[in-house]
Amino acid sequence: MHKMLKQALQYGLSLGLMGLFMYWAFAGISRGELWDAMTGISPVWAAVICVATLGTLVLRAWRWQVLMRPFAPQVSNINASLALAICYAANVAVPRSGEFLRCVSIKWATGASISALMATIVVERILDLFWLIVLFWLIVYIDIALPVLWLPGGADRDTIGLLALVGCLAALSALVLVSIYREKILAGIRPLVAQRAWGSGERVLEIVETFIDGLSALRQQPMAYFEIFVSSILLNAAYVFTVYAAFIGMGLHQTYDLDATAALAIMAISSIGVIIPTPGAIGSYHLLFGEAMHRLYSVPLATALACATLTHALATLTYVLVGGPTLLWQWHRSRRNSLEDPDD
């Protein structure tokens, strides 16, 4: 009962945040003006955005495959891509539920360990944070003003960005060292854990071991590092392209002179909205995307929010159309297999 109450409160908080951000973003915006801007997109470019969204699934799946390779080499790119589509589709209904469901999807499809898969997701999140900091450092380096970021008075943006980048590199280096010296680190942790109550100590040790196992991809040959690097570069480039495609589809690249650099800045800033635990990043994504376009490039707020809504809606529709049927099909197949083999 306590667990159910906690989950209900978390879900209520998530919905509350979504409502708050949606109100903050769209308050005072004319619905007619918003609708006119949204319906002005070229159908061809709307289709391009959907195809590009599928491309991001394939690229993220590639990187995830590299992380899973030490313990689940049987996972194919199509397995991982469909699992990610399930993840993003589920997050629209229940925030963060998709992370577990994508592991369940891989488990159903290939039999891989869910605990090990969850550990790779932690590593993935660290990689995403690293690349987000890289993107912010890049847009500062190419001298894009960022009035949407409220830094302390007199703060040096270049210094802050460089320090954040160095800190992230240090964190990634630490993860590599942890993966290399796994046994020595666990040997040092076990005596500390043993001092705790037996039950909780065992659980803590299990969590630590699972996380370190998730880093096992970092112990692979240099080609693994190369694949993680290249797939991350291409993945972020694909995200930038989807934003730029929306600019072109709505004619904003000509009207407001929005180029690929602008798409990079908007993508980086709006990515912060994805971190906030609202259902499918609804509201938080729209607010940051729209405010960034409006403040950085003087795009009317209604037009900027229309662009944000289209980009988010087309991506979400793609995830739901792919992930929803896949989840139902995999669940049905798993249930049928369990009935056919009750000892499994």
The H-or-E segment that residue 331 falls in is helix 301-340
Give the Cα separation of 120 and 341 in Å (integer).
Answer: 30
Q: Length of the chain in residues, anyone?
A: 344
* Range picked from 132-141, 194-203, 245-254 for highest mean pLDDT: 245-254
Residues 218 and 67: their CA atoms lie apart, in Å, by: 8
Residue with tokens 């960005």: 161
Give the mean model confidence (pLDDT) for residues 134-145: 70
Q: pLDDT tens digits, residue range 290-310? A: 999 999 899 999 999 999 999
For 158, 218, 230, 236, 249, the CA distances from 233, given in Å and listed in that order, are 22, 18, 5, 5, 24
Statement: residue 325 has pLDDT above 70: yes
Whole-number Å distance between alpha carbons of 302 and 117: 41
Q: How far is CA 273 from CA 17, 57, 259, in A?
A: 11, 19, 22
> How many beta carbons lie within 10 A of that of residue 297, not counting itself?
17
Domain boundaries, the chain: 30-336
Query: What are 292's two structure tokens?
Result: 């960034």
Instruction: Assess whether pLDDT exceeds 50 at residue 190.
Output: yes
Q: Which of 9-13, 49-53, 119-123, 153-157 has the lowest mean pLDDT?
A: 153-157
What is the greatest pairwise CA distance in the chain? 68
Higher pLDDT, 122 or 26: 26
What is the DSSP code string of 273-300? HHHS-SGGGTTHHHHHHHHHHHHHH---
Predicted pLDDT of residue 118: 85
User: Quick one: what percent of the chain has pLDDT higher than 90?
Assistant: 48
Q: Rounded to two decimals, what is the model's pTM?
A: 0.86
Asked if the model's pLDDT at residue 136 lies above 90, the reply is no
